[in-house]
Amino acid sequence: MTNMAVSSSAGDPACAVKVRRLRKRYQGKAAVDGIDLEIERGEVFALLGPNGAGKTTTVEILEGHRRRDGGEVSVLGTDPAAGDRAWRARIGIVPQSDGATGELTVREMVAQYGAFFPRPRDPDEVIAAVGLTEQAGKRLRKLSGGQRRRVDVAIGIVGRPELLFLDEPTTGFDPQARRRFWELISALSQDGTTILLTTHYLDEAEALAGRVGVLAAGQIVALGPPAELGRSADEATVSWLAPEGIRSVQTSKPTQCVIQLSESTGGEVPGLQVRRPSLEDRYLELIAAAEQAASSESGAAR
């Protein structure tokens, strides 16, 4: 499906987002420190990382809401720093926020934003898609935090964007609302919308994204399908009960290890366990390693 969308875009670059050596400093401190990134059309890509890792800075640069200090950036074939209104009409943005508020009703707000785009979606359909049909006539000020955030999402998609940016979209959602939101994102992706989201929820990245980039201390420390994040060669742990106690081995070939064990014990291996670190274990390890490297580097610079 992704491939078809790509091959049909003759003349258009195959990449929705292309980033080379992106850099951004605040008061001399690197917030984004040489990121390379490519996102294909039709892909759902998640930028995962702790607070302060540079996720929002990166996304804001891609949205044209922040200037970069170095590197090359192309979003839908255009440098965001020079993006014009026609380019803006092709992207949708859900910024990090506490949600839209004020004295407009949900319907008035969504219809207003639709009116800025050349081919908007029907506001009522969008309101239904984010699950706010019952609140459509309510003032934004009177909505709950999660409902306001869903208005943000409605505003982001009402313009029928080819590329949608979602900056921590589900912060403050209850589990049920998150589930519904995930379904909405899947539906948008099925319609061919390219999606770049940031999150610090692993399960969210796993549920939505085809690929994940882990950002730590301004650098991408891992990139790939969520199930393969940070997977290293000798990541399996084989343990068993030996006469002298519990023994364990780190190995990249757990099956072979078990066969050898079985041969040596002549059949059943007592207390046999083969464990792989969970996604969360590997993620936390990646982040810790990257932050340690960054702090020792800045320590050396001092």
Partner 1 sequence: MIAAASQAGRLDRAASRLPSLPRQALVRGLVEIKLFFRQRESVVFTFALPMILLVLFGQIFHGTIGSTGVSFRQYFIAGIIASGLMSATFVNLGVSIAADRDDGTLTRLAGTPLSPVGYFAGKAILAFVVALGEVVALLALGVGLLGLQLPTSAGRWLTLAWVLVLGAATCSLLGIALSCLVKASTRSAVAVMNLPYLVLSFISGVYFVFSQLPTSLQRVAAIFPLKWICQGLRSAFLPDKLLVAEPAHSWESGRIALVLGAWLVASLVICIWTFRWPGQDRR
Summarize as ranges the residues that interact with partner 1 (CB under 8 A).
Answer: 1, 4-5, 7-9, 12, 41-42, 60, 63-67, 85-86, 88-93, 95, 97-98, 100-104, 108, 112-113, 115-119, 139, 152, 155, 159-160, 162, 190-192
The closest of 31, 13, 26 to 73, measured between CA atoms, is 13
CB-nearer residue toward partner 1: 35 or 91 = 91
Residue 176 sits at the vertex; the CA angle it makes with 172 and 180, to the nearest 5 degrees, is 95
Compute the least distance from the CB of residue 298 to partner 1, in Å: 22
Gyration radius of the chain's alpha carbons:
23
| C-beta of 47 vs 155, nearer to partner 1 | 155
Nearer to partner 1, 141 or 247 (CB): 141
- Which single residue is written with the structure tokens 């709950």? 144
CB 124, min distance to partner 1, A:
17
- Shortest distance in whole angstroms from residue 207 CB to partner 1: 20
Closer to partner 1 by Cβ: residue 109 or 214: 109
Instruction: Tell me how crowded residue 148 is: count the other CB atoms within 10 A of its CB.
Output: 22
Nearest distance in Å: CB 234, partner 1: 40
- Taking the complex as a whole, the smallest distance from the CB of residue 153 to partner 1 amounts, in Å, to 12
- Cα separation, 282 vs 290, in Å, equals 12
Q: CA-CA distances (angstroms) from residue 217 to 54, 113, 199, 280? A: 7, 35, 15, 18
* Per-residue CA distances from 169 to 64, 148, 271, 285 (Å): 19, 11, 45, 25
CB of 122 to partner 1, least distance (A): 15
Q: Give, in order, the Cα–Cα distances in Å from 50 to each of 54, 163, 219, 288, 291.
A: 9, 24, 12, 10, 10
Give min distance, CB of 141 to partner 1, in A. 10
113 vs 283, which CB is nearer to partner 1? 113
The C-alpha atoms of residue 241 and residue 200 are separated, in whole angstroms, by 38
Least separation in angstroms between residue 148's CB and partner 1 is: 11
Distance CA 275, CA 239 (A): 8
Residue identified by tokens 């987002």 is 17
Which residue number, 88 or 211, has a Cβ lying nearer to partner 1?
88
Cβ proximity to partner 1: between 138 and 231 the closer is 138
Q: Name the H helices within 165-278.
A: 175-190, 202-208, 254-265
Of 67 and 276, the one with the shorter C-beta distance to partner 1 is 67
Tokens of 118: 């050349």
